[in-house]
Amino acid sequence: LVLAWSTPSRAQAPRKKLVIGFAQTGAESEWRTANTESIKAAAKAAGHELKFSDAQQKQENQIKAIRSFISQKVDVIILAPLVTTGWDTVLREAKAAKIPVILESRNVVVKDPTTWTTFVGSDFVEEGRRAARWLVEHTKATQGDVNIVELQGTVGSDPAIDRKKGFEEVLKGHPRYKIIRSQTADFTRAKGKEVMEAFLKAEPGRIKVVYAHNDDMAIGAIQAIEESGLKPAKDVLVIGVDAVKGAFEAMMAGKMNVTVECNPLLGPQLMEAAAKAAAGEPLPRWIKSIEGVFPAEVAAKEFPNRKY
Ligand code: AHR
């Protein structure tokens, strides 16, 4: 029998109260609102001071916010990068000021990967694959071409790039599935409706499926489908990503077929990572969310358990 001495580990030591700067993308979706609330609540529960900046979907505002956090000498910066590129200079500035930067909900592509400490968020390529696998399975008994229109997220953003990639990767092995139109709708409901209206006009009677990179755009598309006189989820299959309550409501109303989960409730993991980063403790490069797929058949049963 080997008895281990129970000495308090660094992880168990009382954590310092931190000043954290959080550069959020904006409030473009139901998902993003839940993400902001989760981070604010977790910071409060941990006793940290959170300096919050809403960039209103503009990268230049996020860069300004990071520079302001650096000049205020915050302990940690949390960044939800709107797009993947354009961060090299400002992240180098944060590193030079010895302020750890944690990425949340979206990733970056930079020359020096040591300018950020960890990424807390989802596997977007896998989310795209899950959406495509559901589609192939759900339509396996049908015949002929399956014409798909795609509503992409914000151009140049990590989830838009990777959800497209994963979806196409699975469909490559199934030649009858064809993406006939693909355009950004910026992750918003209003643009989802607008772009879907244009797709329906351009491809009358041809569209069998809409694959939206988030649920808000899917909900906008549902409105456009209904206004065109078609039945969403029947005449046109509707696939979304996020698994927000709005998607469950649409599924329970028989208007949406499936949503692929993307968890926005990252606050507690981020606070843990911030404490470790501030203490100079090692962190994994990726703290990955564990997620599922919710088809309409399970929506009513799952709805009461949903937290966002
Ligand atoms: O980065 C995550 C994505 O951003 C969510 O899927 C989308 O709804 C949000 O705007």
The reply to whether ligand 1 has any atom less than 6 angstroms from the CB of 262 is yes
- Quote the ligand 1 centre to 13 CA distance (angstroms): 35
Query: From CA 163, how far away is CA 187, in angstroms rounded?
Result: 12
Distance (angstroms) between ligand 1 centre and the Cα of 15 equals: 31
As for the ipTM of the complex, it is 0.98
How close is the Cα of 32 to the center of ligand 1, in Å?
A: 6
Tell me the per-residue pLDDT of 74-88, one tens digit each, with 9 for 90 and over.
Answer: 999 999 999 999 999
pTM: 0.94
Q: Is the CB of 30 under 6 A from ligand 1?
A: no
Q: 79: which strand partners?
A: 23, 103
Atom of ligand 1 nearest to the CA of 187: 10
Per-residue confidence (pLDDT) for residue 13, from 0 to 100:
56
- 């700067």: which residue's tokens? 21
Strand ranges in the chain using DSSP code E only, listed in sequence order: 19-24, 49-54, 76-79, 101-104, 118-121, 146-152, 177-184, 209-212, 237-242, 258-261, 286-288, 293-295
Pick the atom of ligand 1 nearest to 216's CA: 8
Predicted confidence (pLDDT) per residue in 195-249, tens digit: 999 999 999 999 999 999 999 999 999 999 999 999 999 999 999 999 999 999 9
User: What are 184's strand-pairing partners?
Assistant: 152
Query: Ligand 1 center to residue 124 CA distance, Å?
Result: 10
